């Protein structure tokens, strides 16, 4: 592991803002999934955005300025340098990068778009990841 071994408590306010936005993305996915004809494009996009924001929150927690990229696998690799377990969890979500591209660009192969079941499975993993990252918060003294 490179750098500090524990999150910097002085950065947690900024981390909490990133996690709040990630939570908002997860709420949007929930709302989309309640529709009679859910938008797979919208749900896929917000799943990826949640993973990206959570990854960047972890980097910030450990004093690393996150790069302005959307590649979940690459972000997971960076997180792995400061928190191997969370980095590995993020890398397991690397398919979200293709979902993001399929949701944003009509010329991307339609097979990159996930199924409703794929989105539900990813949402469960993202919620668990969000909870795991929140557990890094410094305890009040």
37-57: pLDDT as tens digits: 999 999 999 999 999 999 999
> Which domains, and CATH codes, for the chain?
9-131 (1.20.120.330)
In this predicted structure, the answer to whether residue 1 has a pLDDT above a threshold of 60 is no
Per mean pLDDT, which range of 24-33, 61-70, 102-111, 113-122 is the poorest?
A: 102-111
83-107: pLDDT as tens digits: 999 999 999 999 999 999 999 998 8
Confidence of residue 73 (pLDDT cuts 50, 70, 90): very high
pLDDT at 4: 59
In this predicted structure, the answer to whether residue 125 has a pLDDT above a threshold of 80 is yes
SS in 3 state form for the chain? CCCCCCCCHHHHHHHHHHHHHHHHHHHHHHHHHCCCCCCHHHHHHHHHHHHHHHHHHHHHHCCCCCCCCCCHHHHHHHHHCCCHHHHHHHHCCCHHHHHHHHHHCCCCCHHHCCCHHHHHHHHHHHHHHHHHHHCCCCCCC
- The vertex-92 CA angle with 91 and 96, nearest 5°, equals 85
pLDDT at 110: 72
44-53 residues labelled b (16+ CB within 10 A) or e (exposed) = bbbbbbbbbb
Confidence of residue 141 (pLDDT cuts 50, 70, 90): very low
Q: What is the mean pLDDT of the chain?
A: 93
pLDDT at 89: 98
Token reading at 124: 């469960």
117 Cβ neighbours under 8 A, 6+ residues apart: none
């Amino acid at each position: 592991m490179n750098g500090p071994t524990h999150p910097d408590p002085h950065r947690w306010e900024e981390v909490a803002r990133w996690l709040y936005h990630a939570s908002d993305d997860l709420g949007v996915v929930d709302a989309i999934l309640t529709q009679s004809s859910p938008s797979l494009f919208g749900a896929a996009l917000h799943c990826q955005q949640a993973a990206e924001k959570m990854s960047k929150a972890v980097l910030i927690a450990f004093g690393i300025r996150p790069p302005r990229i959307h590649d979940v696998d690459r972000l997971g690799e960076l997180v792995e340098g400061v928190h191997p377990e969370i980095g590995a969890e993020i890398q397991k979500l690397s398919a979200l990068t293709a979902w993001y591209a399929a949701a944003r660009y009509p010329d991307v192969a339609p097979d990159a778009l996930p199924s409703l079941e794929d989105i539900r499975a990813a949402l469960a993993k993202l919620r668990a990841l969000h909870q795991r990252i929140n557990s890094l918060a410094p305890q009040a003294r």
